[in-house]
Chain A
Amino acid sequence: MMKTQAVVDSKHANTKRAIGTVLVTGFFAILSAIIAFPLLAGLLASFHPGRELLQNGLSLNLNFDTMSLNNYIYLLSGNADSQKYFMWYGNSLELTIITVILTLLICYFVAYGMTMYRFKLGKILFFLVIATMCVPFEILLLPLYNEVTELGIINTIWGVMLPGLCSASTIFFFRQYLIGMPKELLEAARIDGCTEYGISVRIMMPLAKPAFASMAILCAMGSWNNMLWPMMVFRDADKFTLQIGLNTLLTPYGNDYDVLIAGSMFGILPIMVIFLLFQKYLIEGMTAGAVKG
């Protein structure tokens, strides 16, 4: 009697659990479908003539008969529009790669100096790092624009990069990572005759690889998608990054919408690939500040 009751109970619990699973999983399936919708509509639109986008706006267009690869063929054809597009693409790639390398190296060494040595300035500087994070960058927009003009680096890649190389959030993340490292390693290396700089490069840097991976992805995303500051610094059309360039195609006349919609989808591609490959590192880097507060 007792036994059958238990079986009935567990069966009951199983059905309850199964219903719960279907409900929750179904909920996320619907939510994901809604969230994927705009990009899906954009992707489908990229297979239709840009003219339609101007006349009809964007909607989920499932008319497969009129779909073609024409926009992408045009984009890759090597004509004037295509050359312009890939010039922007190349500019963005160049800017992103140089920014990521320099930002990571500089921020790593700064964070290393702040955490691995006991000196008063280190603590004060860390406080200043936090302080700069508490002021929105946009406040400095105009004076920085003036400054960059005075320094003669307006309209150059340096004008875009230099003000942001010592990124407070990147320093903060590296510091959080390095602070957990055993300091005995440093002593051991010193006894072996390693210089201070040698230790930071040869001992600690390899240990900080996961931190580098996280920050590289976040930094690359930020740089690839950055718009406001590069738009102010770059004046010549041949220096534009992809985001600025795409924005110039968004005219009310819509004669470039073929390139715009196909180029937008093609422009998400590098970030999407990096995301799918390194998702784990990205999430680690992003959420590092949220738990420790």
Chain B
Amino acid sequence: MKYLKKYLYSQKVAPYIFVLPFVLSFLIFWVYPLISGITMSFQDIGFSKREWVGIENYAKLLRDKTFKLAISNSIEYMAWTIALLIPFPMIFAVMMDSRLTKAKGVWKAIMYIPALTSVVISGMLFRMMFSEADGSQMNKLMVWLGQQPIPWLKSKATSWLGLILLCCWRWTGVNMLYFLSGLKAIDSTLYEAADVDGCTAIQKFRHITLPLLQPTTIYVVTISVFAGLSMFLESFMLWGNNDSPKNIGLTIVGYLYKRGIQKNDMGYACAVGVVLLVIALLINFAQLIATGTIKIGKRKEE
């Protein structure tokens, strides 16, 4: 017993005991479900049956128009979030960093607050602001502009305005803080040198800020890509219970949830999950090449 204790306390064994929880968690809650998810995607699973069907789920996916719609919705949403939630927060961060701005703490705090509210609460607020009732905020705005009130959440263009505003509302402040922390890491003497050389603000932004912010930009793009691709709850809340008219708000994860949980078709839903996994891995790979972590065809130069 005493020997065992000494063994467990030794400098050789201690590190393994420290990392043991991660190893267990990794195997039980990551590797196992990943493998079982891939296995299930080749099966037909119902209440009492579970049989192998080969690639039938995937063949069905290829013909499934709803699934294609879900993929294009997810990618479209991701594209919007990147187009809006990278440049604007970056510009806001540069402005916030300026010595001219007063009461910075107040603005930063207010801009961060949306990120504290849960998807349920923020989704509920936006759903009601975009309600088709005459008294909703958006319809009041329409009347003020001399237009007729419209059912906002029933057509794609108007409801997506709500969806994207919801996303921007929640994440603008967060992304601005990311860029601000990136700006803090830039050596201020570079700007002083540029001032001496008589550079304009735009030149300084283009030639100092933008290139030196690159690590932060890569980070923010990465999290935006994954958050955009796997978006579900925003749409779940905005339209209520994952049901949008003509599936205008259906996303990949929304479809996975609908088939797996709401319709109990686990095998097919797992195939949807595997497709999402493949898309995520492709993006990871593309990004590693783009950022130069993996180099292809450049061996000769070395």
Contacts and interface: CB of A to CB of B under 8 A. Distances in A.
Given A39-B117, A147-B33, A272-B113, A106 B21 contact: yes
Interface string A14-41: 0001001100110111011001101101
B58 interface: no
A58 B131 contact: yes
A25 B125 contact: no
Interface residues of A, number: 92
Q: Is the interface of B mostly helix, strand, loop or mixed?
A: helix
Given A38-B122, A246-B124, A140 B111 contact: no
A114 B118 CA distance: 33
Contacts of A55: 133, 135
Contact of B280 (A122, A134, A200): A134
Nearest to B184: A291
7 contacts: A114-B18, A128-B26, A135-B280, A137-B230, A147-B36, A225-B118, A287-B181
Nearest to B38: A143
Contacts of A291: 181-182, 184-185, 215-216
B22 A29 contact: no
B301 to A, nearest CB: 24
A30 B181 CA distance: 23
Interface stretch (A4-12, A71-79, A158-166, A205-213): A158-166
B48 to A, nearest CB: 15
B187 to A, nearest CB: 13
Contact of A195 (B9, B40, B130): B9
Top-9 shortest CB links A-B: A113-B18, A57-B136, A56-B135, A57-B131, A58-B128, A166-B25, A287-B181, A196-B14, A225-B118
A232 interface: yes
B70 to A, nearest CB: 13
Contact of B121 (A110, A137, A232, A268): A268
Contacts of A136: 226, 229-230, 276, 280
Contact of B110 (A35, A224, A225, A283): A35
A113 B14 CA distance: 8
A281 to B, nearest CB: 13
Contact of A135 (B11, B107, B118, B277): B277
Contacts of A181: none
B113 to A, nearest CB: 7
B126 interface: yes
Interface string A228-268: 10001000000000010011001010000000100010011
A293 B181 CA distance: 12
Interface stretch (B61-69, B79-87, B91-99, B191-199): B91-99
A138 interface: yes
Contacts of A272: 113, 116
| Residue among B25, B40, B111 with most chain A CB within 10 A | B25
Contact of A141 (B19, B180, B256, B280): B256
B137 A41 contact: yes
A59 B276 contact: no
A132 interface: yes
Interface residues of B, number: 100
B284 to A, nearest CB: 5
A286 B180 CA distance: 12
A32 B106 contact: yes
A144 B261 CA distance: 12
Interface string A174-195: 0000000000000000100001
A49 B246 CA distance: 33
A62 interface: no
B232 A138 contact: yes
B237 to A, nearest CB: 7
A58 B219 contact: no
B11 to A, nearest CB: 6
B170 to A, nearest CB: 10
B245 interface: no
A125 interface: yes
A221 B107 contact: no
Interface in A101-147: 106, 109-110, 112-114, 116-117, 119, 121-122, 125, 128-129, 132, 134-147
Contact of B30 (A132, A142, A279, A286): A132
Contact of B19 (A32, A122, A200, A224): A122
B19 A138 contact: no
Contact of B17 (A27, A113, A293): A113
Contacts of A287: 177-178, 180-181
A117 B10 CA distance: 12
Given A32-B106, A196-B11, A275-B112, A283 B177 contact: yes
